[in-house]
Structures are given as structure tokens and as C-alpha cells.
A and B are shown apart, each in its own frame.
Chain A
């Protein structure tokens, strides 16, 4: 399978705990995005990387959130001191970033986070 892969698929955590999610993009894609989707809403942009550089962060990304893409391949999204309002689906997407189809975004299946 050469699609975008996310792990874990589901995560239940207690409020105040830290969680980390992983995303493996399509191998030749140099842009990677994180989105958050709450129930009944469309995905909302959180942050994106061009190779290993984090180029934009949304105001939705509080100081408790940090994302990395250390070698320009996979990415991690960490949430510290989780709150119930962090409960959502966290989606990763990748795009080629260049060429005629540079804007076609391919999404992973998401990580469903539940904070109890």
C-alpha cells in the first residue's frame, strides 16, 4: 500500500496525558499536512511541512501541540497535557508539492483521539 499511513488509528487517553501520533506520507511527496476534524465538521488546517521545514502553523495549534518531520519523511504530532476539547480525528495528508498535480492532497485514514 503506497498511500498515506497513520498510526495509531484510535487513541483513548486520560486528560492531562501526552499523546503522539505518526504519519507516513506517500514516499515521493515533499509536503505533509496535519488537519483536525471534529464531529460533523470539515477538516481544519493545523500545520504543514515542506520537506523537514515547518512552514505554517494555524492559530488552532496551541503551545501544547508540536509537530516534527525530522528527516523530511514521516511526521509526528504530539499533544501535551491533553484536554477534552482535543478529542477529534487528526488527519494527515501529503501532496507532491511540485508538478502539474502539485496540489492534489491524499489523506490518511486518521487517528481518532478520545480524551476522557
Chain B
């Protein structure tokens, strides 16, 4: 059972454009939603995360938008740069009584063209 669904699978954006990646979750007990960035041959690195008590979180060029009623959240990368080319994973975690076990989406491969 895929508890976190991510789209699109791949994305091509021109330098300076906005990259948008979407995720949807099923389990309403999830209460922590991080995004990870992964370069080839490397482990995932935490990019930004949000909890459902806020609808948006911004860190630099990266913004998470969160819609609790729709059980959806998205990552926006503003002014996308070639160095942003990587695979992005959304994830979800159930906090209370938690194991800290992350449930990941399938990933989105982003290519930013110069």
C-alpha cells in the first residue's frame, strides 16, 4: 500500500523557472512532512519540513505548501538553478508514539536546463 503518492515522476524546468512537486498522503495520523534532496550516489539530505499546524513554510528558494483538508502538500523551488537538478522525495511520519519511521514517495527527478 502506497501511503504517500508523489508526482510528477520527472520534471524539466528552465533556469529561473519554478519547479513544483506534489505529494498526497492517506494516513491522517501523519504529522511531519519532510522533503529530501538526493544527488546520484549520495544519501538523501533533508531540505525542508512542515508540520500540519501551518499551511506554508519557506526557506530561501524552497517553499512547502500544505493543505490538510485535501491531504496534499507540495514543494516549490523558486528561481530554479542547474545545481538543483536532483531527485526529490517527499515523506511523511507519524509523530505521536512514533517510531520515527519515514514513509517516502516514489521520487521526482528534476532537471533544470541552463
Say if A and B assemble together: yes
CB within 8 Å: A-B pair count: 63
Of chain A, the residue at the smallest CB distance from B90 is: A42
Partner of A104, one of B6, B49, B103, B105: B49
Q: Given the complex, which residues of B lie within 8 Å of A102, measured CB to CB?
A: 100
A95–B44 alpha-carbon span in the complex (Å): 14
Of chain B, the residue at the smallest CB distance from A105 is B102
Task: Flag whether B114 is at the interface (Cβ < 8 A).
Answer: no
Chain A CB within 8 A of B89 CB: yes
Which of A41, A55, A105 has a CB less than 8 Å from the CB of B46? A105
Is A67 in contact with chain B by the CB < 8 A criterion? no
List B residues 77-91 near A (Cβ within 8 Å).
89, 91
- Report A-chain residues with C-beta under 8 Å of the C-beta of B101: 33, 45, 48, 56
Residues of A within 8 A of B36 (CB): 107
Q: Which residues of A contact B107 (CB under 8 A)?
A: 40-42
- Residues of chain B at the chain A interface (Cβ within 8 Å): 6, 32, 34, 36, 41-46, 49, 89, 91, 93, 95, 98-107
In the bound complex, residues from chain A placing their C-beta under 8 Å from that of B106 are 40-42
For the complex formed, measure the closest distance between the CB of A116 and the CB atoms of chain B, giving whole angstroms. Answer: 19
24 pairs, CB–CB < 8 Å, chain A vs chain B: A4-B43, A31-B100, A33-B101, A41-B107, A42-B89, A42-B91, A43-B102, A43-B104, A44-B104, A45-B101, A56-B99, A56-B101, A91-B44, A93-B43, A103-B32, A103-B93, A103-B100, A104-B34, A104-B46, A104-B49, A105-B46, A109-B41, A110-B43, A112-B41
A42-B104, A91-B43, A103-B95 known; 16 new pairs, CB 8 Å cut-off, are A31-B100, A40-B106, A42-B105, A43-B44, A45-B103, A48-B101, A91-B44, A103-B100, A104-B34, A104-B46, A104-B49, A105-B100, A106-B46, A107-B43, A107-B44, A108-B43
